[in-house]
Amino acid sequence: MAPPGCNQNLHPDYYLLCDTEQVWGIVLESVAAAGIISTIIFMLSLLIVIGKVQDATKRSMIPIYFLFLFGTLGIFSLTFAFIIKLNVRTGPTRFFLFGVLFAFCFSCLLTHAFNLVKLVRGKIHLQYPVLLAIAISLTLVQIIIAIIYVVIIVARQNIDFTTMNIEQRNKDFVMLLIYVLFLMALTFLVSMFTFCGTYKGWRRHGAHIYITLLFSIAIWVVWITMLLRGNPELMTQPLWDDPVISIALVSNGWVFLMIYIVPEFCFLTIPRKPEDYPAEDYSCQPTFMKKKTYGVENQAYMKEEIATDAGNNQDPPYVPHYAHFQMENLPPQQEFSIPRPKTRASPYEDYTGGQGTK
């Protein structure tokens, strides 16, 4: 007999999608469907606002945002594979896509964090082809790991996920996610370095990644603990295994949307601020000028101004110049001039041609 709410001709593996007695399947199905719709709306909105982004640095991150939303869409969709009962079709899908999709999302976050570490220190941002290459390369490692397990180990040994020992299956599932856990820890560490920079405008983007990873780590610690220790001790295994993983998928997907994507969308169309970037001649300045342009070296002029304005009771103005010596009045020097030539009387002025006077 089909449970209440389900059609009599429906396959038993799909009963949790419509069973009104076990409400968790319907609730998670609704929340996952809402996440899918929201993610698609964000993806379409991202395509619309591309032309309105004035900052070239933020525009280079749009492909990473799109890939991240694509991975989030897959996470919400994968929830249905855990609401449907484990069989020969959902088993490989669970083991392969779970780690790959999360590795895809965390690789995008790690790439964004690497780019922010450069920006908060006044360096040139990475171009979008480089960002895409980094994100995809980091994801390929998890794809290779999942292929080795699902195709080589399971397929060649004719292992059926439905008949496999429950404890061994859960351990293998968690072992496949070791690289994802490494990406998560590395992203969390790199996001903390985004708070140590001169240009504070980029720190809020690092804060989005930091808080997202903080909530994600908490979710992963809870569901892995429940899967390996909590459910066996409470005698609820395997009844609670699929709900625990489904709740983790839906929760982490909404964390990605609400804590990372929504704030990033709010700052995406904000015009470029000069204080978030170094000056155009920043690379041409000497090192000591970049670090300090005022301080003790200006005391020579400051003392002179104090002495000059002491009688007027005026505050000495700030003179942003550098002097190694005290200025002093020079004594007046002797004036020198070039002598002009003087005309002489000609010796032949009284000459009369040799004729005597009569």
> For position 281, what pLDDT does the model report?
37
**Residue 57 confidence (pLDDT):** 82
Per-residue confidence band for 188, with pLDDT thresholds at 50, 70 and 90: very high
Residues 305-328 have pLDDT tens digits of 555 555 555 555 545 544 445 555
pLDDT at residue 288, rounded to an integer: 44
Q: pLDDT tens across 153-170, in order?
A: 776 667 777 778 888 889
Cα-based torsion angle of the residue sequence 9, 13, 16, 19 in order, rounded to the nearest 10 degrees: 30
- Whose tokens are 């397990």? That residue is 149
Give how many domains the chain has, as a whole number: 1
- Return the axis-axis angle of helices 62-83 and 23-48, rounded to nearest 10°: 160
Report which secondary-structure segment, H or E, holds 233: helix 231-234
pLDDT at 273: 64
Residue 104 is assigned to a structural domain of this protein: yes
CA torsion sign, 184 to 130 to 68 to 215?
positive
Q: Note the pLDDT of residue 225.
A: 94
- Please tell me the predicted confidence (pLDDT) of residue 41: 95
Q: CATH number for the domain including 185?
A: 1.20.1070.10
Q: How far apart are CA 48 and CA 292, in angstroms?
A: 44
Residue 44 included in any domain: yes
Domain membership of residue 292 (yes or no) is no
1 domain-assigned: no
Residue 289 pLDDT: 46
Average pLDDT, the chain: 81
More confident residue, 270 or 89: 89
Distance CA 75, CA 77 (A): 5
- Whether residue 298 lies inside any domain: the answer is no
* CA trace torsion 74, 80, 82, 84 (10° rounding): -150
pLDDT value for 219:
96
φ, ψ for residue 177 (rounded to 5)? -100, 15
DSSP three-state, residue 318: coil
What pLDDT, on the 0 to 100 scale, is given for residue 28? 94
- C-alpha triplet 5, 10, 11: angle, nearest 5°: 125
User: What's residue 151's pLDDT?
Assistant: 80
Is residue 3, in this structure, part of any structural domain at all? no
Query: Could you tell me if residue 151 is inside a domain?
Result: yes
Percent of the chain with pLDDT over 90: 41
Can you give the residue range of the structural domain that contains 175? 12-276
What's the pLDDT score for residue 344? Answer: 67
**Residue 74 forms part of a structural domain:** yes
**Confidence (pLDDT) at 290:** 45
When comparing pLDDT for 33 and 273, which is higher?
A: 33
| 70-96 confidence digits (pLDDT tens) | 999 999 999 999 999 988 888 889 999
